[in-house]
Structure 1
Amino acid sequence: MRKLTAGLFAAAAMMTATVATAADPIVIKFSHVVAENTPKGQMANKFRDLVAERLGDKVKVEVYPSSQLYGDNKVLEAMLLGDVQLAAPSLSKFKKFTKKLQLFDLPFLFKDMAAAEKFQQGPAGQKLLGSMKKKGIIGLGYLHNGMKQISASKPLRTPADASGLKFRIMSSDVLSAQFEAVNAVPLKKPFSEVFTLLQTKAIDGQENTWSNIFSKKFFEVQEYITASDHGLLDYLVVSSTEFWDGMPADIRPQVKKALDEAIAHGNKIAAEKATGDRTAIEASGRSKVLDLTAAERMQWVEAMKPVWAKFEGAVGTDLLNAAIAANN
């Protein structure tokens, strides 16, 4: 009888634990490196709010901005360990998982954001989202920052003007090759150090979007900005394959729908900031914005285009051709 009673108590305890576990919400920790007022920060908060509104206590999204949990260089490792469920690193950060995403660093590949969006939402761009699944990472959507411009301590109108100058870049072999193509010196440095490096003249220039140049005040310590639109700076919203595929079948589609809507919200903000922040920089009078003529721009294109061939093998010819076709 004592054994039977003990067994009943044990069964009841297990049932209680099971009920408690079933009632616990799915927690999604979203780690990113920028402030909450940026397009990425606002996208993350929008996602959190949509999930709370639609899924109640079934799913809880916790947003950790400004590298409160991890920087972009560590967050993917943390994700594979289950410490983070969502992140949105720049497309340059995925080289150890796939070389195909190096496509997005190629100079002058997309003529504008509309072309980049067309490629990303097309068959080739959507297929790329699954290019890291075997490594445990799944892409869920592309988040825009915008087209990159080149700032410097001297006016840059032709590739010859950049010769010998030191430019900060993200950790990307493609971006190294890009500046080496115009006889400049690329230096891989953390984003957090760029303002000080420019201010102290340790570097001569950098490349970035209008929103980053404005929000980080790079325009205050750079005399010239060439409106080059020479490259793309976007992010990839990712999760671990284990976590994403492990979500209940009735929950995952609702979470994905909320995420898609949040990304669209962030992309709209990014587009508005690209225009507004350029205007604010010009109005400040601190930095002179240089618009290239068609002939000047073609010199830059011709100087940097050989970089495509250098990375075509790693990226894939079919992928490169699909990206080129998106400009039409």
Structure 2
Amino acid sequence: MKKWLMMMLAAALMIGILAGCGARSQQNNASNESGENGGASDEKIIIKFSHVVAENTPKGQAAEMFKELAEEYTNGKVEVQVFPNSQLYKDEDVLAAIQQNNVQLAAPSTSVVTKLYPQWTLFDLPFIFKDEENVQKAMESPEIGGKLFTMLEEQNLLGLAMWDNGFKQMHSNKAIKTPADFKGQKLRVMSSKVLEAQFKAVGANPTPMAFGEVYSALEQGVIDGGENTLSNVYSQKMHEVQKYLTMSNHGYLGYAVITNADFWNGLPEDVRQGLEKALAETTDWVRENSKRLNEEQLELIKQAGTTEIIELTEEERQAWVDAMTVIYSEFENEIGKDLIDAAKALW
């Protein structure tokens, strides 16, 4: 009798426990559903933002600005975690990470996007854009920016903005003033057929290399030099191991701000609106300040006294134009003559 009573008490206790668990489960499910529909949920949305440059570059500063504004405009519902200096991914790996939603935001150089869509190689063409304003017109036009960003959707990617870094200059341990001075020099390039062709056209030996490896390669003499914006040269201390810097403005370097389409479209409406507002303000800031930052860091390079600055005359720069733009016809089929012509028409 006592044994039977104990068994009944144990069974009643187990039923009570299971009932309580079921009630808590229903409450949790309701809470989760409420959060997904814009209701009160204490769980923050984490956005990992991966990039490869230092914090004191235009992109690095923009990433930090976006973080602050995004967290403010979403009332703390979002936490943006910024990972600079290739801490998470190199440029060539980050698009796959975005597609897999391992990171939610990245701003790779346009050269990286060419691995998926060769039409983006437009941005690598030497002397295709006159200045930053010219690039902005291109990205805001349906013939160029609209077409290029729409392509990304096929790969579950969503293009959100274009951030300027500026125009590239040549740096080397051998002076470069005329096209003939390129001959035989081993120069680092981002992985891009156009950039390789650009340097081959003037007799140089282009060497594709990850951005994070450039300083040590310059220091050890593995390469003679390369091309980069002034902010990248300064922030990575390349000027400390380079004797010459030629102010050539021969090519544009910009970053496509990209996210995972499913992630972005699945955000609560109020959160997405807050992020869009933060992104728009950051993009405006980049447009206004990237040129200023490059100019400031040119002065710091001059003050360091380790690098001789070479200024080109209009005639000397035109010689570069004549020598390098011969590659346009080589890439008309790959990029699209319509895109090339549309960019040239903006001059």
What TM-score does the superposition give when structure 2 sets the normalisation length? Answer: 0.87
User: Which amino acid counterpart does residue 29 of structure 2 have in structure 1?
Assistant: A
Q: Counterpart in 1 of 2:202?
A: 182
Q: Counterpart in 1 of 2:239?
A: 219
Q: Percent identity?
A: 42
Q: Counterpart in 1 of 2:109?
A: 90
Structure 2 vs 1, CA of residues 10 and 159 (structure 1 numbering), >3 Å: closer, same or farther? Answer: same
Between the aligned partners of 1:309 and 1:97, the Cα distance in structure 2 is 21
Residue correspondence of structure 1 range 1-328 to structure 2 within 5 A:
10=22, 13-20=25-32, 22=35, 23=41, 24-123=43-142, 124-327=144-347
Structure 2 vs 1, CA of residues 220 and 62 (structure 1 numbering), >3 Å: closer, same or farther? Answer: closer
CA contact (8 A) 1:129 1:141 kept: no
- Any idea what SS the aligned residue of 1:230 has? strand
Between the aligned partners of 1:68 and 1:285, the Cα distance in structure 2 is 31
Q: CA deviation at 1:211?
A: 0.9
Q: Counterpart in 1 of 2:4?
A: none
**Structure 1 stretch 218-227 or stretch 85-94: which is displaced more?**
218-227
Please give the root-mean-square deviation of Cα atoms over the aligned residues, in Å.
2.2
Between the aligned partners of 2:147 and 2:26, the Cα distance in structure 1 is 44
Between the aligned partners of 1:153 and 1:47, the Cα distance in structure 2 is 37
Between the aligned partners of 1:233 and 1:142, the Cα distance in structure 2 is 10
User: Which amino acid counterpart does residue 183 of structure 1 have in structure 2?
Assistant: G
Q: CA deviation at 1:11?
A: 5.7
Structure 2 vs 1, CA of residues 57 and 152 (structure 1 numbering), >3 Å: closer, same or farther? Answer: closer
Residues 265-318 of structure 1, C-alpha deviation per residue, up to 9 Å, x if partnerless?
234332111111122222333211111112211111111112111112111122
Between the aligned partners of 1:156 and 1:66, the Cα distance in structure 2 is 29
**Structure 1 stretch 95-104 or stretch 275-284: which is displaced more?**
275-284
Gaps of 5+ in 1: none
- Any idea what SS the aligned residue of 2:85 has? coil
Between the aligned partners of 2:19 and 2:119, the Cα distance in structure 1 is 57
User: Which amino acid counterpart does residue 235 of structure 2 have in structure 1?
Assistant: S
- Any idea what SS the aligned residue of 1:314 has? helix
CA contact (8 A) 1:198 1:222 kept: yes
User: Which amino acid counterpart does residue 181 of structure 1 have in structure 2?
Assistant: A
Structure 2 vs 1, CA of residues 64 and 291 (structure 1 numbering), >3 Å: closer, same or farther? Answer: same
Between the aligned partners of 2:77 and 2:131, the Cα distance in structure 1 is 40
Q: CA deviation at 1:35?
A: 2.5
- Any idea what SS the aligned residue of 2:269 has? coil
Structure 2 vs 1, CA of residues 28 and 18 (structure 1 numbering), >3 Å: closer, same or farther? Answer: farther
Residues 195-251 of structure 1, C-alpha deviation per residue, up to 9 Å, x if partnerless?
222223222221111111122222222222111100011111000111112222333
What TM-score does the superposition give when structure 1 sets the normalisation length? Answer: 0.92
**Structure 1 stretch 28-37 or stretch 158-167: which is displaced more?**
28-37
Between the aligned partners of 1:74 and 1:41, the Cα distance in structure 2 is 18
Larger Rg: 2
Between the aligned partners of 2:67 and 2:303, the Cα distance in structure 1 is 35
Between the aligned partners of 1:223 and 1:196, the Cα distance in structure 2 is 15
Residues 133-157 of structure 1, C-alpha deviation per residue, up to 9 Å, x if partnerless?
1111111001111100111222222
CA contact (8 A) 1:111 1:229 kept: no
Gaps of 5+ in 2: 1-11, 36-40
- Any idea what SS the aligned residue of 1:96 has? coil
- Any idea what SS the aligned residue of 1:129 has? helix
- Number of aligned residue pairs: 326
